[in-house]
Structure 1
Amino acid sequence: MHPVAFQLGPLTVHWYGVLVALGFLLGLWNAARRAPAAGLSGEAVADMGPWLIVGAVLGARLLYVLTYWREQFARAPWWEVLMVHHGGLVFYGGLAGAVLAGLVFLHRRKLPVWRTADVLAPGIALGYAVGRWGCLLNGCCYGRVCDLRWAVRYPPDNPLGPPTFPVHPSQVYDSLLSFGLYGALAWLFRRRRFDGQVFGAYLIGYALTRSVVECFRGDYPPEHIRLGLTPGHWTSLLVFLAGFTVLYTRARTAAPPGPNRTN
């Protein structure tokens, strides 16, 4: 584990923040590059960036604080809620926050919601795949104990993980699956039949890949496990149903997609 990227005087820059920011910028660049293939302005998609990042960070942090309030925040100083660089962002909360912020932006700009969502979806998977390496270096979201050759160990002073036990590199599993999901969504985008198809497929695909990775996670307190399933499993079930609903309703009611040139 190497959480610190570099030091600038009194300022400590963590790999977690660097890689999450890099993933966000890469995903947004990817979406802006893809936008003209759907008849949208790449500049308009890029302009969504500040809205999406604020919504994502607020949503991700809020869900984390609510989930781990008793364990980490109930007796801690109030400002610990703001210490995002320590880790503690829940992706599903970030996705919900980004969706809400994006809807406000699209309403203000009078841009098509579902077509824009299709443009963004592959970039979300790509950015997430990069950001998960920040979790690996930070020591959060670690896996269950294992004795595999590719197991990782964290140092004894790691506040977010087990002391020295070899564990599954669940962050790497998540990243590799998300890179695969990105490739599948990029392929689907060029062949989509209606606006909303790629975003619905993203919700289903991410719910499935996340459910697989959750089987290897080892960082949840025992009291958070219900019927043998983690909070990530339960949320993935809801996201899967949401994705299925999007595909079903859009396939029945949507008009053909906008321009679809190669990207």
Structure 2
Amino acid sequence: MYNNWFKIGSVTIHGYGVMIALGILAAFWMAERLAKRFHLETNKIDNLIFLCVIVGFIGAKALFILTDLKSFMANPIAVLGSQGFVVYGGIIAGALVGYLYCRHHHLDFFTYFNVLAPCIALAQALGRIGCFLAGCCYGIPTDAWYGVTFPADSLGPGANVKVIPTELISSLGNFIIFAILYYVLTRTKESNKTGAWYLILYGFGRFMIEFIRGDLIRGSVGILSTSQFISLFVVIGGIALLVFENKRKVVIG
């Protein structure tokens, strides 16, 4: 909504970037707390998060490029320099490099994933507020009281178009997922299932929110958006992981 906060010399501080940074810092803070609580190596978990964040950004940008390959081929510099990202690209890339990191250091990937799952949801919740400030990831037009309009210089559809604030809905959903996962991890005997529940809850939520998203330049697979198509596999993967963890019965901490 108000992305250009202030300037330091010739550098403009954007709300989008600030909220992304806050999300990453909050994930680091929460991860260190949980690592100590569950007797994991904090230096390993810090390195793991840092690596996943860097590779995750690359993956998110790569999937964004794939969903709008025509624009990239026409002007690659503009696309690379834009604020366009697809979250699932980051999740997939981050999970892959996280698995390789854990395998290299002889760590149990699923244990670390279960502990980090609430942190991922927390980072996403704050990041979506950044999307709202920038005007990206907006919803379909609406005349309802909760509709919002974005400034003409934002990434939104235009100053005269009232849309559903899907960014804030997504943010609230991620905060709820964070709360559920944190409770399951720290207050129940099902702490080995938080990773599975993250995949199921986030995948389902993302599938549903896509029905009211209005930014259509994100590709499609048949009648589904790219994110909806990926969500199906994410939910299936979460269910499979739930079954796997039921059989494994590994207690964290």
Report TM bin, short chain. Answer: over 0.9
Equivalent position SS for 2:12: strand
* 1:19 alignment partner in structure 2: 19
1:31 aligns with 2:31: yes
1:250 aligns with 2:245: yes
Deviates more, 1:102-111 or 1:162-171: 102-111
Instruction: Specify the code of the residue in structure 2 equivalent to 1:66.
Output: L
* 1:41 alignment partner in structure 2: 41
The C-alpha deviation readout for 1:19-70, integer Å capped at 9, x for no partner, is 1121011012112211133221233212223201111101000000110122
1:174 aligns with 2:173: no
Question: How many aligned residue pairs are there?
Answer: 252
1:159 CA drift (Å): 4.7
Query: Hey, what's the Cα distance between the residues in 2 that align with 1:58 and 1:211?
Result: 23
1:212 CA drift (Å): 2.3
Contact 2:140–2:213 (Cα < 8 Å) also in 1: yes
* 1:231 alignment partner in structure 2: 226
* 2:73 alignment partner in structure 1: 74
1:223 CA drift (Å): 7.0
Deviates more, 1:12-21 or 1:172-181: 12-21
The C-alpha deviation readout for 1:71-121, integer Å capped at 9, x for no partner, is x32211x322431xx321111100011112212322232222111001100
1:105 aligns with 2:101: yes
Q: Give TM-score, length-normalised by structure 2.
A: 0.92
Pick from 213, 216, 236 the counterpart of residue 212 of structure 2. Answer: 216
Query: Hey, what's the Cα distance between the residues in 1 that align with 2:27 and 2:65?
Result: 26
Contact 2:219–2:226 (Cα < 8 Å) also in 1: no
Query: Hey, what's the Cα distance between the residues in 2 that align with 1:27 and 1:67?
Result: 28
* 2:111 alignment partner in structure 1: 115
Equivalent position SS for 2:74: coil
* 1:156 alignment partner in structure 2: 152
1:128 aligns with 2:124: yes
What is the percentage of aligned positions where both structures have the same residue?
A: 30
Measured at CA, do residues 182 and 159 of structure 1 come closer, stay the same or move farther in structure 2, by a change above 3 Å? Answer: closer
Measured at CA, do residues 223 and 103 of structure 1 come closer, stay the same or move farther in structure 2, by a change above 3 Å? Answer: closer
1:161 CA drift (Å): 2.5
Query: Hey, what's the Cα distance between the residues in 2 that align with 1:56 and 1:222?
Result: 18
In structure 1, runs of 5+ residues without a counterpart are: none
Query: Hey, what's the Cα distance between the residues in 1 that align with 2:134 and 2:33?
Result: 31
Equivalent position SS for 1:114: helix
1:194 CA drift (Å): 6.4
Query: Hey, what's the Cα distance between the residues in 2 that align with 1:188 and 1:33?
Result: 16
Equivalent position SS for 1:47: helix
Q: Give TM-score, length-normalised by structure 1.
A: 0.89
What is the RMSD of the two structures over their aligned residues, measured on CA atoms?
1.9
Contact 1:118–1:198 (Cα < 8 Å) also in 2: yes
1:214 CA drift (Å): 1.3
Contact 2:184–2:190 (Cα < 8 Å) also in 1: no
Query: Hey, what's the Cα distance between the residues in 2 that align with 1:192 and 1:82?
Result: 45
Instruction: Specify the code of the residue in structure 2 equivalent to 1:40.
Output: L
1:160 CA drift (Å): 4.6
Contact 2:67–2:217 (Cα < 8 Å) also in 1: no
Contact 2:6–2:13 (Cα < 8 Å) also in 1: yes
* 2:4 alignment partner in structure 1: 4
Measured at CA, do residues 221 and 100 of structure 1 come closer, stay the same or move farther in structure 2, by a change above 3 Å? Answer: closer
Equivalent position SS for 2:212: coil
Query: Hey, what's the Cα distance between the residues in 1 that align with 2:218 and 2:66?
Result: 17
Contact 1:5–1:14 (Cα < 8 Å) also in 2: yes
In structure 2, runs of 5+ residues without a counterpart are: none
Contact 1:194–1:251 (Cα < 8 Å) also in 2: no
Query: Hey, what's the Cα distance between the residues in 1 that align with 2:211 and 2:158?
Result: 17
Contact 1:200–1:243 (Cα < 8 Å) also in 2: yes
